[in-house]
A and B are shown apart, each in its own frame.
Chain A
């Protein structure tokens, strides 16, 4: 039987606010346990939550970025359950009326087999909520430690429609979402620190069947690689189960990166009754048009719009424009290089090629690139004006990477300047022709290969410093 995979994603993006969603405590990562906790974060008796407007602004930004509806009125609700790292015994979240609804994002899917394609994924909603603290089960001699520094950190939970049909689509969706939230500056995107975590709802059904199969939810995937592995494993497992005559039971599962397998955490039967009800401590969140308009005015150009502009303004291919606009920092780097005088196509090639490769080798991002866009631009200018060729340029870039020297300094230091005086090149060619009369004869008798040999001789004579195009041109002229 042919199976169709159905995936919906719930992504928790940590909003990059200075203070927590309902208190004035700092959200900075890595402080000593329980030092970043206001009375409401420890849930002392009598403590009350106060909405952090900065978190709301970031939710509005997201809504605008994905063309969603921003609800003028949304409501905070309490999700009640007991857990030691949930100090109030309830999480403040949004239930019936979320701040953002609908909207869609377009993604580029690159399946392992077959051609890349675009896909639109619709969003169900995005709502504000607070994060819980952390339970630490090691180092306490059989007891557990609780760190509430993270408790109350603002999260935007972004829920997609179950519209993805493969792990590749789910990963492409997660990456596109990641790009948006980091692009618009609402999330720092640090996945190791848990700033961007995915829950994947996965089910399978026979191709052509309208109803969904029973889903299992894979919790807390904090890397794109794990997301892909977990879904692929889960899909295989579900198909095997059904083909072996078993039924899928709705459940929450965890992915173990060490084994590459998912394992059951709890079934629907032992799921909580969260007893949601509107939080009486927080009035409904009201957002007026003026607020939305103000944020609209502060929105950066979004990746899709920038990609289109790169194609028309710089004459880049769709692929190049897409790659450069995959991250805001890369796009900014590219535009800075062009602004500093670099040819756009050359700049695109160098950024996507040598620079990106070197950054990958060093596990750095473009923000940490030791060669500034301005320094790169000068080097590209020297390629464009034939001062150096591509081969020398690679050396120059490597040296720039390791020093603060400019391309011009390095070219002079290493004597890489190409001969650009056509008179001098002509004299050099004349010498080569005179010394290789036999080859000239061979060429004239119709052996095309002899031309390449003569070019080689010329380049050798020029010690690589004559632009091959110029040599070619003069040689052709001379050989008539």
Chain B
């Protein structure tokens, strides 16, 4: 049962083979068993989960069930959910019980999906290893000494370990794709504006985008059907006709043009990762696809551009966490400035502080033009590069990350080394494009440990999610990487 996809679970619920309560109970038992080792969840609340499951069962009994009614999933702790602690992985929000639902949560609720719990994450979504959570690091289910990737590490690890059949996640610079790759699961970051950011705790507003992580592309499509759609409460949400993201899944790939950016296969890419990616490309050729070389010449500039824009926005977005209205406030302080300083010093972790300081610096008087404006210019150039590439191909493919998951603690003292790991994922966010990660094999850790998953990145043009899901789904019809689960 726990290896079932959403589609299979949906069928079983419809056939009354299992109830939502039974399903939730089974997953809760597995969470109870394995979460102490993986730390994928920050909050589990059996009563709330079962109450939701009962509601779902009642809906089904009354004949009002939708396709996913009663199917359970985990929510990244970044989405405000009424009555649930919404900590965003931070001590700052450890006491914050959200009084309202994010758009994504609302949509899931409407679809009858049952909340299994709140997934661990890097604090305020800042990190590539999930070591920055105030609730401790998440472990990679394939090797508990490895990091699961970040920032949606809890979501990816939970799905990989079958603690949840799917999870919501967010991606600001790779936070869906990279943990999905490191944990051997499937995830998609939609085009910026497709999924409402209302109620999603903001890290970098112009880059943040919610999306699903699941075991298959088909499940991702089903969840995207639930999550996507115009929301007037988010001014950057795009007013578009509702799409069925499953509509093209079965399309053959004959004649598909795959662009391989030469910069994504250059120096710095680990050989075992390159090998797995190349094997997947070979599968696509067998499916009738053609391969062309394309160029994204400013790929390297994505790192400095991103690490100016994201911290700049974050420094402002995180100003609201001041200990005045909610969240952490220092126990003792003398005066207003002291209250701010102590509350924020105690409430934020090091990486968050580092980015607030960086962001504050680049927005400062006299530095704004040299950093922020310059980074925005690069951002436009990077977006243009992608458009030039898409003139030659339908989708772009490459690795999600230059290496497989590293060991816990391996890079935690070297933030720059960690930032460099994001080289292939940042451009997608800067350009606002959709990006996916699909499991395509295994590689080794730096110290030679085998069995670390490799993810293939699929990048599409704006609003081409249905095509990308089709491309990923077709690969999953001829390979079985996505069905592999770690032994726990």
What is the chain B residue whose CB lies nearest that of A50?
B235
State in angstroms the CA–CA spacing of A50 and B230 once bound together.
Answer: 14
What is the chain B residue whose CB lies nearest that of A144?
B336
Residues 299-356 of B contacting A (Cβ, < 8 Å)? 312-313, 315-316, 318-322, 324-326, 336, 340
Residues of A within 8 A of B200 (CB): 46
Residues 181-228 of B contacting A (Cβ, < 8 Å)? 197-202, 204-206
How close is B304's CB to chain A, nearest CB, in angstroms? Answer: 17
| Residue interface bits A396-409, CB-to-B below 8 A is 1, else 0 | 00000000000000
Query: Is A339 part of the binding interface, using a Cβ–Cβ cutoff of 8 Å?
Result: no
**A48 contacts B197, CB within 8 Å?**
yes
A45-B236 contact given A39-B100, A281-B205, CB 8 Å threshold: no
Query: Is B86 part of the binding interface, using a Cβ–Cβ cutoff of 8 Å?
Result: yes
Most buried by B among A45, A46, A87, A88: A45
Query: Is B242 part of the binding interface, using a Cβ–Cβ cutoff of 8 Å?
Result: no
State in angstroms the CA–CA spacing of A46 and B231 once bound together.
Answer: 14
**A50 contacts B80, CB within 8 Å?**
no
**A82 contacts B364, CB within 8 Å?**
no
Residues of A within 8 A of B98 (CB): 44-45
Query: Is B234 part of the binding interface, using a Cβ–Cβ cutoff of 8 Å?
Result: yes
Residues of B within 8 A of A292 (CB): none
Query: Is B386 part of the binding interface, using a Cβ–Cβ cutoff of 8 Å?
Result: no
Pick the residue among A47, A84, A281 that contacts B235 (CB under 8 A): A281
How close is B238's CB to chain A, nearest CB, in angstroms? Answer: 10
Residues of B within 8 A of A49 (CB): 235
Most buried by B among A42, A82, A146, A280: A280
State in angstroms the CA–CA spacing of A84 and B198 once bound together.
Answer: 24
Residues of A within 8 A of B234 (CB): 48, 50
User: Count the B residues whose beta carbon is within 8 Å of the partner chain — how many?
Assistant: 44
| Residue interface bits A332-360, CB-to-B below 8 A is 1, else 0 | 00000000000000000000000000000
Query: Is B390 part of the binding interface, using a Cβ–Cβ cutoff of 8 Å?
Result: no
Residues of B within 8 A of A46 (CB): 79-80, 86, 102, 197-202
**B319 contacts A146, CB within 8 Å?**
no
How close is A219's CB to chain B, nearest CB, in angstroms? Answer: 19
**A277 contacts B205, CB within 8 Å?**
no
Query: Is B458 part of the binding interface, using a Cβ–Cβ cutoff of 8 Å?
Result: no
Pick the residue among B86, B198, B319, B326 that contacts A82 (CB under 8 A): B319
State in angstroms the CA–CA spacing of A90 and B319 once bound together.
Answer: 7
**B202 contacts A80, CB within 8 Å?**
no
| Residue interface bits B5-37, CB-to-A below 8 A is 1, else 0 | 000000000000000000000000000000000
Pick the residue among B100, B318, B368 that contacts A277 (CB under 8 A): B368
State in angstroms the CA–CA spacing of A277 and B376 once bound together.
Answer: 11
Residues of A within 8 A of B79 (CB): 46
Residues of A within 8 A of B201 (CB): 45-46
Query: Is A282 part of the binding interface, using a Cβ–Cβ cutoff of 8 Å?
Result: yes
Query: Is B365 part of the binding interface, using a Cβ–Cβ cutoff of 8 Å?
Result: yes
**A275 contacts B198, CB within 8 Å?**
no
Query: Is B274 part of the binding interface, using a Cβ–Cβ cutoff of 8 Å?
Result: no
Pick the residue among B86, B315, B320, B364 that contacts A273 (CB under 8 A): B364
How close is B282's CB to chain A, nearest CB, in angstroms? Answer: 41
How close is B133's CB to chain A, nearest CB, in angstroms? Answer: 16
State in angstroms the CA–CA spacing of A276 and B102 once bound together.
Answer: 28
**A45 contacts B86, CB within 8 Å?**
yes
State in angstroms the CA–CA spacing of A276 and B360 once bound together.
Answer: 11
State in angstroms the CA–CA spacing of A25 and B146 once bound together.
Answer: 48
State in angstroms the CA–CA spacing of A87 and B368 once bound together.
Answer: 24
Pick the residue among A48, A146, A277 that contacts B198 (CB under 8 A): A48
State in angstroms the CA–CA spacing of A89 and B325 once bound together.
Answer: 12
How close is A240's CB to chain B, nearest CB, in angstroms? Answer: 33
**A42 contacts B325, CB within 8 Å?**
yes
Pick the residue among A43, A78, A283 that contacts B236 (CB under 8 A): A283
How close is B221's CB to chain A, nearest CB, in angstroms? Answer: 25
State in angstroms the CA–CA spacing of A395 and B119 once bound together.
Answer: 82
**A280 contacts B205, CB within 8 Å?**
yes
Pick the residue among A45, A82, A146 that contacts B340 (CB under 8 A): A82
Query: Is A176 part of the binding interface, using a Cβ–Cβ cutoff of 8 Å?
Result: no
Residues of B within 8 A of A42 (CB): 325
Residues 272-315 of B contacting A (Cβ, < 8 Å)? 312-313, 315
State in angstroms the CA–CA spacing of A375 and B361 once bound together.
Answer: 69
How close is A465's CB to chain B, nearest CB, in angstroms? Answer: 72
What is the chain B residue whose CB lies nearest that of A24?
B233
Residues of A within 8 A of B199 (CB): 46-47
State in angstroms the CA–CA spacing of A287 and B80 once bound together.
Answer: 34
What is the chain A residue whose CB lies nearest that of B318?
A89
| Residue interface bits B94-114, CB-to-A below 8 A is 1, else 0 | 001011101000000000000
Query: Is A51 part of the binding interface, using a Cβ–Cβ cutoff of 8 Å?
Result: yes
**B100 contacts A48, CB within 8 Å?**
no
Residues of A within 8 A of B428 (CB): none
What is the chain B residue whose CB lies nearest that of A274?
B365
Residues of B within 8 A of A80 (CB): 315-316, 319, 363
**A45 contacts B80, CB within 8 Å?**
yes
A146-B325 contact given A48-B197, A275-B360, CB 8 Å threshold: yes
**A48 contacts B320, CB within 8 Å?**
no
Residues 345-394 of B contacting A (Cβ, < 8 Å)? 360, 363-365, 368, 372
| Residue interface bits A78-100, CB-to-B below 8 A is 1, else 0 | 10101010011110000000000
Query: Is B93 part of the binding interface, using a Cβ–Cβ cutoff of 8 Å?
Result: yes
**A89 contacts B235, CB within 8 Å?**
no
Most buried by B among A276, A277, A281: A277
A275-B235 contact given A43-B325, A46-B198, CB 8 Å threshold: no
What is the chain A residue whose CB lies nearest that of B196?
A48
The 8 A-B pairs with the shortest beta carbon distances in the complex, nearest first, are A89-B319, A280-B205, A280-B206, A275-B363, A46-B199, A45-B201, A43-B320, A46-B80
List 16 A-B residue pairs with CB atoms under 8 Å apart, sorted by A's residue number.
A44-B99, A45-B98, A46-B102, A47-B198, A48-B234, A50-B234, A80-B315, A82-B322, A84-B336, A87-B324, A88-B320, A89-B318, A89-B322, A275-B368, A276-B368, A280-B236
Give residues in B with beta carbon < 8 Å to A: 79-80, 86, 88, 93, 96, 98-100, 102, 197-202, 204-206, 232-236, 312-313, 315-316, 318-322, 324-326, 336, 340, 360, 363-365, 368, 372
Q: A43-B320, A277-B372 are in contact. List 6 more A-B contacts (CB 8 A).
A: A39-B99, A42-B325, A44-B80, A46-B200, A87-B324, A90-B316
Give residues in A with beta carbon < 8 Å to B: 39, 42-51, 78, 80, 82, 84, 87-90, 146, 273, 275-277, 280-283
